[in-house]
A and B are shown apart, each in its own frame.
Chain A
Amino acid sequence: DVKVTQSSRYLVKRTGEKVFLECVQDMDHENMFWYRQDPGLGLRLIYFSYDVKMKEKGDIPEGYSVSREKKERFSLILESASTNQTSMYLCASRTQGGYGYTFGSGTRLTVV
Chain B
Amino acid sequence: AQSVTQLGSHVSVSEGALVLLRCNYSSSVPPYLFWYVQYPNQGLQLLLKYTTGATLVKGINGFEAEFKKSETSFHLTKPSAHMSDAAEYFCAVSGRNNNDMRFGAGTRLTVKP
Contacts and interface: CB of A to CB of B under 8 A. Distances in A.
Interface of A: 4, 31, 33, 35, 40-45, 48, 50, 56, 59, 90, 92, 94, 98-106
Given A99-B49, A103-B43, A106-B43, A40 B9 contact: yes
B63 to A, nearest CB: 14
Contacts of A41: 105
A96 to B, nearest CB: 9
Contacts of A102: 46
Contact of A42 (B41, B45, B51, B106): B106
Given A41-B105, A42-B90, A103 B44 contact: yes
A103 B32 contact: no
Interface of B: 4, 6, 9, 32, 34, 36, 41-46, 49, 51, 90, 92, 98-106
Given A43-B103, A92-B43, A98-B98, 9 more contacts: A42-B4, A42-B6, A43-B92, A45-B100, A45-B102, A59-B102, A100-B34, A101-B44, A106-B41
Contacts of B51: 99
B43 A43 contact: no
